[in-house]
């Protein structure tokens, strides 16, 4: 669609002439009405009159410098503004030169949650951004942390805690690439993942979003996921920009120090010395930068009382200067506002500390007005604005957004592709950790008589966990996939009876094997902070009841973290932790029946009792140490 781009180029050249005149009154910039046809590629054939920034043959840094020199202050501040899609109409994207739009957790299109509807939604914002005077494409971001997980029908991979249990960097990289393919297919080139926290207290509601408690493990798998997301090159339609998060120490906060909602750990205060911070929490960011990360999200949390979003030493002196991070720093969701009740001071502090793009996410007019005032008053130097915009534009050029602002519609067919689901199934199998296996309960003979109990056995929403379709996740049949029960029925050749209450008097007990699926209902972020990780009394009763109706009892835990099972261990022969496996429950059955060996090992220490949290602060041996896991041969 060369003619479209040239048409834009003519508009841009014409408006540049206008700018030369109107620069003194930037507010008179009027966005030309350019109708874009949403095509995959709008390449420019550079001519001598093409502005340097529109010449893809030039280095991104040179293009960014050329574009920056053409921009008004309003256009620069627009690039630093990231808005949730529900808070802005496309026309306002044009009017305010908005540089970024995101879908927050559960941010699927209001029309329908289909790949085509996602692409149409993203394209509508992009079309509005390209209608601005300089036709700067926006960058659309989403939390695709275990697949394109807000999209119904996308492949939902195991959450990172399960990937940590695989210890398999190559597998994690493959999952990163598959996630990128399904995300960019909908026109989204920016993924707010991976979490590279090093959680030290599993009572944290984001424990499952991280790979484990060990710095080296997190560094290795975080870098692998980043490489996977960006594997085919940021220009390609099968790669997305990674966003390792949340810098820094989101997993190291102290119980009870959070001041958000009724959170206790999430967004709290990390109270350690700098040497510990550098040893425990910084290496994953070094690995992420080395793996090619060009955006990093800042943490809500604080360090010894100072909000991370206000921390110039860590954001600028350490991350940007000492570590040489050349990409851009994006705030977390309205996190800047937490710095001070005085919004003006909060914005000035955060931007001067090193925040480059503000996830506002609602009141973009308030943010933009505040920024204009702060620059005009000299409280934010324009050099800081230029530094931030230069970083943002350079990444947009690296992503190829100026040449390919729209997705290739043909890619939509790859969403939920069989090859991705097969990869997810393999990841599920490798993620399972066998904690106990007495009386040769596992593997289960294919012709065994089997009872299955527990509502979680037949629930895609529960087995996917938080950040799935909805921000907090949701129990129920929320997206296509294979439940653990369905997988057991598809694999076993004998009788399989299911009763979620564990009542099988009508099925001629005893069964050879009774499988009980227990665990946690979905949650996300601080809403998952938990003082008590014990199994419920009803869970204990369910295991008891199964023990009265089956020769062998196998418990499967669907959970975002280790749970307190010490007192219940003797009630079952075998205990398997499946973490939050996602849509491909067949991977669980593959291991139960011996088609795939148990190879997973614990990414977190498994406490005997609650007093052993946070990690390393209490006496006594854990129930199972970091790295523990039994193995079984495959049949
Ligand atoms: C949330 C999370 C962050 C996420 C962002 C956008 O509050 O802290 O991980 O990327 O908002 O959804």
Separation in Å, CA 562 to CA 473, 531, 579: 19, 13, 9
Closest-lying ligand 1 atom to the alpha carbon of residue 103: 12
Mutate to test the pocket of ligand 1, among 194, 332, 358, 361 (most ligand atoms within 8 A of CB): 332
* Cβ contact 179:228 at 8 Å: yes
Shared domain for 207 and 173, answered yes or no, is yes
Within 13 Å, how many C-alpha atoms sit on residue 5's CB side? 24
> Is 47 part of a structural domain of the chain?
no
Instruction: Output b/e per residue, 61-73; b: 16+ Cβ within 10 A.
Output: eebbbbbbebbbe
**Which residues, at least 6 apart from 132, have a Cβ–Cβ distance to it below 8 Å?**
31, 75, 94, 97
Residues 241-280: pLDDT tens digits?
Answer: 999 999 999 999 999 999 999 999 999 999 999 999 999 9
Which atom of ligand 1 is least distant from the CA of 141?
6
Bridge partners for 296 per DSSP: 329
Residue 617 confidence class, pLDDT cut points 50, 70, 90: confident
Quick one: 396 and 453 in the same domain?
A: no
353: in domain: yes
DSSP 170: H
Token pair belonging to 50: 């093409």
Distance CA 176, CA 608 (A): 34
94: domain range?
60-413
Confidence band of 11 (pLDDT split at 50, 70, 90): very low
- How many angstroms separate the CA atoms of 520 and 505, rounded? 27
Nearest CA to ligand 1 atom 8: 332
User: Residue 455 has which token pair?
Assistant: 């509502």
| CA 367/CA 95 separation, integer angstroms | 15
Tokens linked to 633: 């041969």
Which 3-state string (H, E, C) describes 22-37?
Answer: HCCCHHHCCCCCCCCC
State the Cα torsion 469-474-480-484 to the nearest 10°: 140
Q: What was the pLDDT predicted at 219?
A: 99
Q: What value does the mean pLDDT of the chain take?
A: 93
Lowest-confidence pick of 47-56, 84-93, 261-270, 411-420: 47-56
Asked whether the predicted pLDDT for residue 26 surpasses 80, the reply is no
Q: Is there a domain that residue 498 lies in?
A: yes
Contact 327, 295 (CB under 8 A): yes
- The one catalytic residue in 213, 525, 573, 590 is 525
Where are any strands of DSSP class E within 85-148?
Answer: 100-103, 139-142
- Extract the tokens encoding 230: 């960006």
Say yes or no: 362 and 439 in one domain: no
Q: Please name the residues in contact with 415: beta carbons below 8 A apart, sequence gap of 6 or more.
A: 115, 148, 151, 153, 154, 155, 182, 185, 186
pLDDT value for 37 = 39
Report, as an integer, the average pLDDT of 531-552: 97
Q: Looking at 384, 413, 442, which one is the last position of a domain?
A: 413
Model confidence at 555, pLDDT cuts 50, 70, 90, reads very high
Would the pLDDT of 10 be above 60? no
Residue 634 within a domain: no
Q: Which of 85, 86, 101, 104 to mutate to test the pocket of ligand 1 (most atoms within 8 A of CB)?
A: 104
Q: Identify whether 621 is part of a domain.
A: no
Residue 525: active-site member? yes
Q: What are phi and psi of 142, to 5 degrees?
A: -155, 155
pLDDT reported for residue 44? 58
Does residue 29 carry a pLDDT above 60? no
What CA–CA distance (Å, rounded) separates 170 from 198? 20
- Give the pLDDT band (50/70/90) at residue 49: confident
Distance CA 578, CA 603 (A): 12
* Per-residue pLDDT reduced to its tens digit, 383-427: 999 999 999 999 999 999 999 999 999 999 999 999 999 999 999
Q: How far is the CA of 76 from the centre of ligand 1 (A)?
A: 24
Q: Residues 279, 227: contact at Cβ < 8 Å?
A: no
Cα 500 to ligand 1 centre (Å): 34
Is 396 in the same domain as 461?
A: no
End-to-end CA distance of the chain: 56
Question: Looking at the structure, do residues 404 and 457 belong to the same domain, yes or no?
Answer: no
**8 A C-beta contact, residue 431 and residue 166:** yes
Q: For 68, phi and psi rounded to 5 degrees?
A: -55, -40
* Residue 584: pLDDT band with limits 50, 70, 90: very high
CA distance 191 to 187: 12
- Whether the upstream peptide bond of residue 194 has omega within 30° of 0, thus cis, is yes
pLDDT in tens, 428-439: 999 999 999 999
Residue 339 lies in a domain: yes
Atom 6 (ligand 1): residue with closest C-alpha?
104
How far apart (Å, rounded) are the C-alpha atoms in residues 145 and 127? 27
pLDDT 10s digits, 169-196: 999 999 999 999 999 999 999 999 999 9
**Which amino acid residue places its CA nearest to atom 3 of ligand 1?**
332
Q: Name the closest-CA residue to atom 11, ligand 1.
A: 333
Centre of ligand 1 from the C-alpha of residue 335, in Å: 10
Residue 254's CB is within 10 A of a number of other CB atoms, namely 17
Q: Is the pLDDT of residue 526 over 80?
A: yes
pLDDT tens across 278-334, in order? 999 999 999 999 999 999 999 999 999 999 999 999 999 999 999 999 999 999 999
481 with 397, same domain: the answer is no
Query: What is the rounded distance in angstroms from the CA atom of residue 90 to the CA atom of residue 252?
Result: 39
Nearest to 164 by CA among 561, 590, 607, 584: 561
Residues 476, 595: one domain?
yes
- Percent of the chain whose pLDDT exceeds 90: 90
Alpha carbon of 112 to ligand 1 centroid (Å) = 23
Tokens of 8: 């834009």
The two counts, helices (H) then strands (E), for the chain are 19, 17
332 included as an active-site residue: yes
pLDDT for the residue 634: 58
Gap from CA of 452 to ligand 1 centroid (Å): 36
Residue 619: band (very low, low, confident or very high) from pLDDT cuts 50, 70, 90: confident
Catalytic residue among 332, 426, 520, 584, which? 332
- Is pLDDT at 36 greater than 50 in this prediction? no
From 349, 379, 413, the end of a domain falls on: 413
Per the structure block, which two tokens stand in for 503?
């009542």
CA distance 401 to 43: 11
Which ligand 1 atom is nearest residue 471's CA? Answer: 12
Token representation of residue 178: 């598959």
Tell me the CA–centroid distance for residue 332 and ligand 1, in Å: 6
The alpha carbon of 564 and the centre of ligand 1 are apart by a number of angstroms equal to 28
Pick the last residue of a domain from 381, 413, 445.
Answer: 413
Q: Whose CA is nearest to atom 1 of ligand 1?
A: 333
- Report the pLDDT value the prediction gives residue 633, as an integer from 0 to 100: 60
**Are the C-beta atoms of 388 and 328 separated by less than 8 Å?**
yes
Atom index in ligand 1 nearest the CA of residue 297 equals: 10
Longest dimension (CA), the chain: 88
What is the CATH classification number for the domain harbouring 495? 3.40.50.1700
Do 588 and 480 share a structural domain? yes
**pLDDT the model gives residue 618:** 76
For 426, residues 6+ apart whose C-beta sits below 8 A from its C-beta are: 171, 587
Q: Which residues contact 168 (CB under 8 A, 6 or more apart)?
A: 430
> Residue 564, by phi and psi: left (phi above 0), alpha (psi -120 to 50) or beta?
beta
Residue with tokens 């001070």: 340
Confidence of residue 620 (pLDDT cuts 50, 70, 90): confident
The answer to the question of residue 427 being in a domain is: no
Is residue 533 situated within a structural domain?
yes
Whether residue 90 is predicted with pLDDT greater than 50 in this model: the reply is yes
Q: Inform me whether the pLDDT recorded for 612 exceeds 50.
A: yes
pLDDT at 28: 37
Pocket test for ligand 1, best of 108, 140, 143 (most atoms within 8 A of CB): 143
Same domain, 354 and 400: yes
| Probe target for ligand 1 pocket from 333, 337, 527, with the most ligand atoms within 8 Å of CB | 333
Give the C-alpha separation, 455 to 626, whole Å: 29
Do 274 and 325 fall within a single domain?
A: yes
Write 496-501 long-range contacts (CB < 8 A, 24+). Answer: 496/450, 496/452, 497/450, 497/451, 497/452, 498/451, 498/452, 498/453, 498/457, 498/458, 499/451, 499/452, 499/453, 500/453, 500/454, 500/455, 500/457, 500/458, 501/453, 501/542
By 3-state DSSP, what share of the chain in percent is helix, strand and coil, each rounded to 5? 40, 15, 45
Residue nearest to atom 10 of ligand 1 (CA): 192
454 Cα–ligand 1 center, Å: 32
Strand, coil or helix: 436: strand
Let me know whether 453 and 370 are in one domain. Answer: no
Which CATH number fits the domain that encloses residue 134? 3.20.20.300
Domain count, the chain: 2
Ligand 1 surroundings by CB, under 6 angstroms: 104-105, 143, 192, 245, 297, 332-333, 525
Q: Is residue 169 located within the same domain as residue 119?
A: yes
- Closest ligand 1 atom number to CA of residue 243: 10
Region 577-598 average pLDDT: 98
């Amino acid at each position: 669609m060369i003619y479209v781009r040239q048409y834009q180029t003519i508009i841009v050249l014409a408006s540049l002439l206008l700018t030369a005149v109107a620069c003194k009154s930037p507010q008179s910039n009027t966005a030309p009405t350019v109708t874009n046809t949403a095509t995959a590629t709008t390449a420019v054939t550079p001519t001598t009159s093409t502005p340097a920034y529109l010449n893809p043959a030039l280095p991104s840094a040179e293009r960014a410098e050329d574009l920056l020199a053409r921009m008004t202050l309003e256009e620069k501040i627009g690039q630093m503004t990231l808005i949730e899609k529900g808070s802005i109409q496309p026309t306002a994207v044009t009017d305010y030169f908005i540089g970024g739009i995101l879908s927050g957790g559960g941010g699927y299109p209001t029309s329908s949650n289909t790949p085509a509807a996602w692409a149409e939604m993203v394209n509508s914002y992009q079309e509005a951004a390209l209608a601005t005077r300089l036709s700067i494409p926006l960058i659309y971001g989403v939390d695709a942390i275990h697949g394109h997980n807000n999209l119904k029908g996308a492949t939902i991979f195991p959450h990172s805690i399960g990937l940590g249990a695989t210890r398999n960097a190559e597998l994690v990289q493959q999952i990163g690439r598959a996630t990128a393919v399904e995300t960019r297919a909908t026109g989204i080139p920016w993924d707010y993942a991976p979490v590279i926290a090093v959680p030290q207290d599993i009572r944290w509601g984001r424990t499952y979003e991280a790979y484990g408690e060990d710095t080296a493990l997190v560094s290795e798998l975080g870098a692998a996921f980043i490489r996977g997301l960006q594997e085919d090159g940021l220009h390609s339609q099968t790669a997305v920009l990674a966003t390792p998060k949340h810098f820094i120490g989101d997993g190291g906060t102290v119980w009870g120090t959070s001041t958000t909602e009724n959170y206790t750990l999430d967004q709290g205060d990390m109270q350690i010395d700098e040497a510990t911070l550098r040893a425990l929490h910084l290496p994953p960011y070094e690995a992420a930068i080395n793996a090619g990360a060009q955006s990093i999200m800042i943490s809500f949390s604080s360090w010894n009382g100072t909000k991370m979003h206000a921390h110039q030493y860590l954001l600028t002196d350490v991350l940007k200067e000492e570590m040489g991070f050349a990409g851009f720093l994006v705030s977390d969701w309205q996190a800047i506002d937490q710095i001070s009740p005085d919004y003006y001071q909060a914005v000035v502090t955060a931007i001067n500390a090193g925040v480059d793009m503000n996830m506002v996410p609602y009141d973009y007019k308030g943010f933009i007005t505040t920024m204009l005032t702060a620059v005009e008053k000299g409280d934010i130097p324009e050099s800081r604005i230029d530094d931030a915009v230069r970083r943002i534009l350079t990444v947009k050029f690296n992503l190829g957004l100026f040449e390919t602002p729209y997705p290739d519609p043909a890619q939509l067919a790859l969403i939920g592709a069989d090859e991705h689901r097969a990869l997810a199934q393999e990841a599920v199998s490798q993620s399972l950790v066998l904690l106990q296996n007495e009386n040769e309960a596992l593997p289960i003979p294919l012709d065994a008589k089997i009872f299955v109990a527990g509502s979680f056995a037949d629930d895609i929403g529960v087995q996917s966990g938080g950040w799935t379709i909805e921000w907090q996740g949701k129990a129920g049949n929320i997206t296509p996939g294979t439940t653990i029960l369905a997988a057991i029925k598809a694999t076993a050749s004998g009788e399989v009876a299911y009763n979620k209450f564990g009542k099988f008097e009508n099925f001629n007990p005893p069964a050879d094997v009774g499988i009980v699926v227990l665990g946690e209902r979905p949650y996300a972020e601080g809403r998952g902070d938990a003082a008590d990780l014990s199994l419920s009394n009803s869970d204990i009763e369910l295991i008891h009841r199964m023990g009265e109706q089956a020769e062998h009892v196998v418990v499967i835990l669907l959970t975002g973290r280790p749970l307190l099972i010490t007192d219940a261990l003797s009630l079952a022969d075998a205990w398997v932790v499946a973490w939050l496996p996602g849509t491909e429950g067949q991977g669980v059955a593959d291991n139960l029946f011996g088609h795939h060996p148990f190879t997973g090992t614990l990414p977190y220490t498994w406490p005997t009792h609650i007093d052993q949290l946070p990690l390393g602060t209490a006496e006594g041996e854990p129930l199972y140490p970091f790295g523990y896991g039994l193995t079984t041969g495959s049949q």
